[in-house]
């Protein structure tokens, strides 16, 4: 499976496109995520005869660098805009958008801003506002020395220790958003028109169920699917169930 580099408005973008199915889907990784680190079970496990799968390293992540990732309150919308330019170049419309964690935030903004491009939307591990729990969690993981080795080592290989620590100081951006009312993408939710599936892991250390329920309440035509034992990376933890659930939603 060959990855491809393309330049969108001087931004280097790395992507993988596989499959020949009629249903086009795009998978967007989370914070610091990459194509294979975040979505190996989906790349290998989803039916390539039913789906054409596009997976992207977001700007400043994986091999979509240089330039390095710039963390600002506008980064989610900027990622959505770059993604829109990419799918135009690749003639990849309409498609269903699957976003995890930070990728889910950019996905919700994309779906609200470019509704004509989206068939269906699937979000998990994502939130639309900052609450006290998020601020406490971000502060706990600000120092990369507090990260589990399993999560830390792959990122050190990509970014190196100094750059990774500099990027992890994104906690300051979240604090800035919080001081301005905490709205990450709440204002976008009512504009989303596509059928939407929200997935939530009840053992997600980063998100309370209230965050998922807020999305369901504020995005019309939305369903919620809960993994009782699911953690933040539920698509990796329960990959077979996850793949079956999203396949059913996308094809029916």
Instruction: Output the domain CATH number for residue 236.
Output: 3.40.50.1820
Domain boundaries, position 159: 130-182
Mean pLDDT of 122-135: 90
Q: Are residues 22 and 37 in the same domain?
A: yes
pTM above 0.85, yes or no: yes
Same domain, 245 and 177: no
Is residue 73 domain-shared with residue 167, that is, in the same domain?
no
Using the 3D structure, point to which of 182, 198, 218 is the last residue of a domain: 182
Whether the CA torsion 79, 98, 150, 208 is positive or negative: it is positive
pLDDT given at position 251: 97
Pairing mode of beta strands 51-57, 11-18: antiparallel
Share of the chain above pLDDT 90, in %: 70
Q: What is the mean pLDDT of residues 56-64?
A: 93
pLDDT (0 to 100) of residue 15: 98
3-class DSSP state of 148 = coil
39 and 135 inside one domain: no
Strand locations in 9-125, DSSP E? 11-18, 23-28, 51-57, 95-100, 118-124
Q: For residue 131, what pLDDT is reported?
A: 84
The whole-number pLDDT of residue 134 equals: 80
Residue after which a domain boundary falls, among 182, 201, 222: 182
Residues 18 and 79 in one domain: yes
The pLDDT assigned to 84 comes to 98
With 90 as the cut, is the pLDDT of residue 241 above it?
A: yes
| Average pLDDT of the residues in 19-38 | 94
Residues 189 and 101 in one domain: yes
Beta-ladder partners of 100: 124
Write the pLDDT tens digit of every residue in 146-203: 888 888 888 888 888 988 888 777 667 888 888 888 899 999 999 999 999 999 999 9
Looking at the structure, tell me whether residues 207 and 242 fall in a common domain: yes
Residues 195-224 have pLDDT tens digits of 999 999 999 988 889 999 999 999 999 999
Cα–Cα dist 200/169, whole Å: 26
* HSE-up of residue 224 (Cα within 13 Å, Cβ side): 18
Do both 216 and 93 map to the same domain?
yes
Cα(51)–Cα(23) distance, integer angstroms? 5
Which of 111-115, 135-139, 159-163 shows the lowest per-residue confidence on average (mean pLDDT)? 135-139
List Cα–Cα distances, 35 to 125, 180, 250, in angstroms: 17, 33, 21
Domain total for the chain? 2
- Mean pLDDT within 224-242: 97
Of the listed ranges 55-64, 67-76, 108-117, the least confidently predicted one is 67-76
């Amino acid at each position: 499976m060959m990855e491809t580099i393309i330049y969108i408005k001087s931004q280097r973008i790395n992507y993988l496109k596989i499959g020949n199915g009629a249903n086009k889907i795009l998978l967007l990784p989370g914070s610091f995520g990459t194509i294979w680190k975040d979505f190996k079970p989906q790349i290998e496990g989803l039916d390539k005869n039913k789906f054409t799968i596009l997976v992207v390293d977001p700007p400043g992540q994986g091999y979509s660098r240089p330039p390095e990732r710039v963390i600002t309150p506008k980064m989610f919308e900027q990622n959505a805009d770059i993604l829109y330019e990419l799918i135009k170049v690749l003639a990849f419309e309409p498609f269903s958008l699957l976003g995890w964690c930070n990728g889910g935030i950019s996905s919700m903004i994309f779906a609200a801003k470019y509704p004509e491009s989206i068939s269906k939307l699937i979000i998990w591990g994502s939130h639309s506002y900052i609450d006290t729990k998020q601020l406490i969690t971000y502060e706990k993981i600000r120092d990369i020395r507090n990260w589990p080795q399993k999560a830390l080592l792959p990122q050190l290989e990509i970014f190196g220790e100094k750059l990774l620590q500099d990027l992890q100081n994104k906690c300051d951006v979240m604090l800035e958003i919080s001081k301005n009312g905490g709205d990450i993408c709440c204002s976008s939710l009512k504009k989303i028109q596509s059928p939407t599936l929200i997935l939530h892991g009840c053992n997600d250390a980063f998100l309370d169920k209230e965050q998922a329920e807020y999305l369901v309440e504020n995005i019309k035509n939305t369903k919620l699917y809960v993994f009782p034992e699911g953690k933040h990376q539920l698509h990796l933890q329960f990959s077979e169930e996850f793949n079956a659930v999203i396949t059913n939603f996308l094809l029916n």
